[in-house]
Amino acid sequence: MDQAQLPTSGTYLCHGITWASGDPRLLLAPLPGGPLVYAGIMGQRLGYQVSGTGRWCTGQYRFTDRVRVEAVACPDRAAAEAGGQCAACASRDEFRFAHQFHAGGHVPDALAAYMAQPHWLYLATFADGTTKVGTAADPRKRSRLDEQGALVATYLAASPDGRTVRFMEDALTRRLGLTQTVRATAKLTALAELRDLAPARTAHQQHLDRAAEALADLNIPAVLEPWMPPGEGNLLGAPGTERALYPHDLREGEHGLTVLSCIGSQVLVSLDGDGELPYLLDLGALKGRRIALGAQFSSPPAAVQSALF
């Protein structure tokens, strides 16, 4: 997946933001068909208009070998049903059983092989101090955390396989009350209100100390390896950087945005003709939407005060 420029024309089904290549890219499925496009966004202008209403199937994940999965576009570009997929893609998606793998039930052979590889247990803390516990397969050790949108994170422990690491994850949730999910809207709001990195760092260290104690009680050796945030998020993660929440709904109308910084799927952007105030928004909101790309599209006027004073 080489670095690709954002297309300047055409209609696409947006699959959201991916960090699978080591940098943030918009994942686009061409309409009416064709392979997925991994388009770099940093420093690039995204001009688009939402086509129609509703959500469309974002395909499935397919095992490419024993240790990796890749995104595959819906061949029919069908309307989405439960979980953002059409019924046909949901039935073919063997990776959907991964989250309940440790609880028993159906396990496809390809998933069993994938889960047999080493995994990592991690803690990730967001701009408001909320901390989640999560897991990542070894090939996804870096990209899994890059896509979370956290400010601070630490790899807690190495696991020989995916089943064991999920028991570790559940154990920390039970013992420490740590969540396993954080809503995208909460991440966005926290970044909009970011004024000081110290509270997030303090919260992370407190959760880290408790997690290490809990792992010791379970006779699980802790590695406590810090995650290094990608440089693409430096501007957005700097609490002195002015920003305001983007005042328009990304899922309708037309927009013109130049990406300045990115943390997870949250981006800081400038608008055409506005050289002063950057805006904060979540490009993940475009997942499942059909968009027409073009340089002629621009955002409506916005007179909004800064989120920081």
User: What is the number of structural domains in the chain?
Assistant: 1
Asked if residue 151 belongs to a domain, the reply is yes
The answer to whether position 159 is within a domain reads: yes
Answer whether residue 100 shows pLDDT above 80: no
Tokens of 24: 């943030």
Domain span holding position 215: 114-230
Report yes or no on 175 lying in a domain: yes
**Span 81-107, mean pLDDT?**
75
d(CA 309, CA 303) in angstroms, rounded, equals: 16
Across the chain, mean pLDDT equals: 91
Residue 272 confidence class, pLDDT cut points 50, 70, 90: confident
User: Per the domain annotation, does 147 fall within a domain?
Assistant: yes
How many whole angstroms separate alpha carbon 284 and alpha carbon 264?
9
* Bridge partners, 60 (sequence order): 72
At residue 307 the predicted structure's pLDDT band, cuts being 50, 70 and 90, is very low
| pLDDT (0 to 100) of residue 2 | 45
pLDDT tens digits, 214-263: 999 999 999 999 999 999 999 999 988 889 999 999 999 999 999 999 99
Would you state the pLDDT for residue 214? 97
CA distance 38 to 14: 11
Average pLDDT over residues 54-62: 91
User: Looking at the predicted structure, is the pLDDT value of residue 53 above 90?
Assistant: no
Rounded CA separation 112/101 (Å): 9
Whether residue 65 is contained in a domain is answered as no
Residue 193 forms part of a structural domain: yes
